[in-house]
Amino acid sequence: MLDHHELEGSPPKLNGLVASVCDLKVPFIIYLRRNVLRRLISKASMAYGAHVNSTAKAAQLRKHKPKLKASRLVSNIRTEERDNALIVKLFKVHCGLRRCVCPRRASRKSSLVPDFRTGSSRDARRGSTLGGEWDVDKRVHYYENLVDANPESRRHWGDVLYELGVFDTSNATEIEERLGGWDFKRKGVIIHGATPVLETVANPAEVEAAIAPSEFKWMLER
């Protein structure tokens, strides 16, 4: 366990929420974005429209290029990365030594049923309980891994649904078959996708000048 002084500064409500998730043994994932600059751009774009749930709305929002406050960009990215690290730390503190709701990876022959009362999973065939500690690092998932542009997105979606206790397997093909042929590739609506970062903002020169000298230069290239 980390000393409580190491968690000073964390929002009390967030601390309490994470503690409750772990105490109640609720299946969870931590969903983050590696390229924080893109997330800040998306956030600024969303200020001009509601949540995008159709290709038409995405196309409309794509035409809007927000103007970012270049002087605060590096500071904002550092703050966001710090907050992301804090979230992961909080889950490790509260869940790190607890019993996991999800079992060890199930074989195709076994039928694993999550037991949310005990925080373990029981093999219905053998009647045995398979336990394990929360592996918080494996529950951290990134937007970049789940979007359609990633050829491995189906595998990552399988992992997410398994870890959330929705299915007893992480095999994407098997999950799609159980859902009646549902295709993971039909999920979600992407606004900017592979559009170069600097083409998605109204002040590209200012953004580049602010980010390029920093450790976040790579965010301009992805």
Q: 81-136 pLDDT, tens per residue? A: 998 998 899 999 888 754 444 444 444 433 333 333 333 333 332 222 233 457 89
Q: How far is CA 31 from CA 115, 127, 128, 134, in A?
A: 24, 33, 32, 16
Tens digits of per-residue pLDDT, 137-172? 989 999 889 886 688 888 898 999 999 999 999 999
pTM: 0.71
Q: Residue 98 corresponds to which tokens in the numbers above?
A: 């607890």
Helices (H), 69-140: 70-95
Which segments within 4-130 are labelled E, that is strand? 30-32, 112-115, 120-123, 129-130
In angstroms, rounded to a whole number, what is the distance separating the alpha carbons of residues 155 and 149?
13
For 69-105, b where at least 16 C-beta lie within 10 A, e where not — what string? ebeebbeebeebeeebebbebbbbbbbbeeebbbbee
Domain coordinates in residue numbering, the chain: 10-220
